[in-house]
Amino acid sequence: MLISRVLVGVLALAILPADPASYRAQMEKWRQQREENLKAENGWLTLAGLFWLKEGESTIGTSRENNLVLPPGSAPEKVGRFDFHGGKTVFQAAPGVTVTVNGKPVTRASLAADSAGSPDVLRIRNLSLFVIQRGSRFGVRLKDKDSEARRKFAGTHWFPIAEEYRVTAKFVPYSPPKKIAVPNILGDVEQEDSPGYVEFTLEGRQFRLDPVSEGDGLFFIFKDLTGGKETYPSGRFLSTDLPQNGEVVLDFNQAVNPPCAFTPYATCPLPPAQNHLPVRIEAGELRYGH
C-alpha cells in the first residue's frame, strides 16, 4: 500500500475507555494531532500538483512554455528537465539553478520512485518533487509548503464522540494470507496483502471487513451509508493495531477522510467491494468543507 499511515495522519492510538471523560479527552487530543499532521510541512495539504511523465524529455519551471508548469513565483522560469526512459527518471538542472536531492546540491541525478521504498526528493525553495509509480504509470508529485490548500485550511469536523462505535472484532486469519483487489481513483486495481478479515457487531447486526497489511498494524478502507452525505463519498480510512488474542479493536471514532478529500492530486485507494457496509456509521471525521 503506497499510502503511508504517518503521512495520511491516521496513526492508530489504543485509547482505552477507562471512563467516559478520560476516553473523550484522549480522543480530542488524537483529533488535534490528526489536524496538526494535515497542516504539517510534509502533510497532505501541501500536495499541489501531479505531472504524469511521458517517454522522453519534460521541461519544468514556472514559465508556461514548460511541459510541467509550477505555481507562479514558486521557482525559476526554467528549473530543468526530467528525462524519462523505460521507467527510469533522471533530472537535469537548468544552468545556474540550484536544487538539492535528499539534501545534497546536484545538477544531475537519477530519481528513485516511491515504489522502490522512500523516493528521492528534489527540493527548490518551498517546493519538493518526487517520482511516484501507480500501476504502469510514473509521475512527478509536487508539494508546496505555501500551497493554497494549506493556507486556506478550514479545519476538520467530526461526529460527536460515541463509545458505542468502539467495537471489539473477531479476527479470522486467512491461511495462507491472500491478495485482495483494491481499486484506486485512477481506475487501477492493485492486489494487496490481507492477513485475514474481522467480524463485528453494530446495532445488533454482524458485519465483516477485509484489511490490508500495513507495517505494524492493519489498514481498513471502507464505506458506509453516511458516504456522500455526512462523510466523504468515496469512503474513509481506519488504522488499528495488529490482532491480539484473536481480536482487533475497531474504533470508528478514529475513521478519517482519505487525502483526496483535501487535494485533487492524491491517488487514493478506494474501498474493496466487500468493504461497503450497509449501515450508517455515525462516528469519525465528517466530509471536509461541508
Range of the domain at 124: 45-144
**Arithmetic mean of pLDDT, 42-55:** 96
pLDDT of the residue at 34? 96
**pTM higher than 0.75 for the full model?**
yes
- Going by C-alpha positions, the residue among 278, 251, 256 that lies closest to residue 167 is 251
Same domain assignment for residues 57 and 125: yes
Determine the 3-state secondary structure of 118 from DSSP.
coil
Angstrom distances, CA of residue 225 to CA of 232, 279, 287, 290: 11, 5, 13, 17
Mean pLDDT estimate for the chain: 93
Of 112, 144, 176, which residue is a domain's last? 144
Of 76, 109, 144, which residue is a domain's last? 144
- The Cβ of residue 284 has, within 10 Å, a number of other Cβ atoms equal to 25
Of 144, 177, 199, which residue is a domain's last? 144
Read off the pLDDT of residues 102-150 as tens digits, 9 standing for 90 and up: 999 999 999 999 998 899 999 999 999 999 999 899 999 999 999 999 9
- Asked, for residue 283, whether it belongs to a domain, the answer is no
Same domain assignment for residues 34 and 170: yes
17 confidence band (pLDDT: 50, 70, 90): low
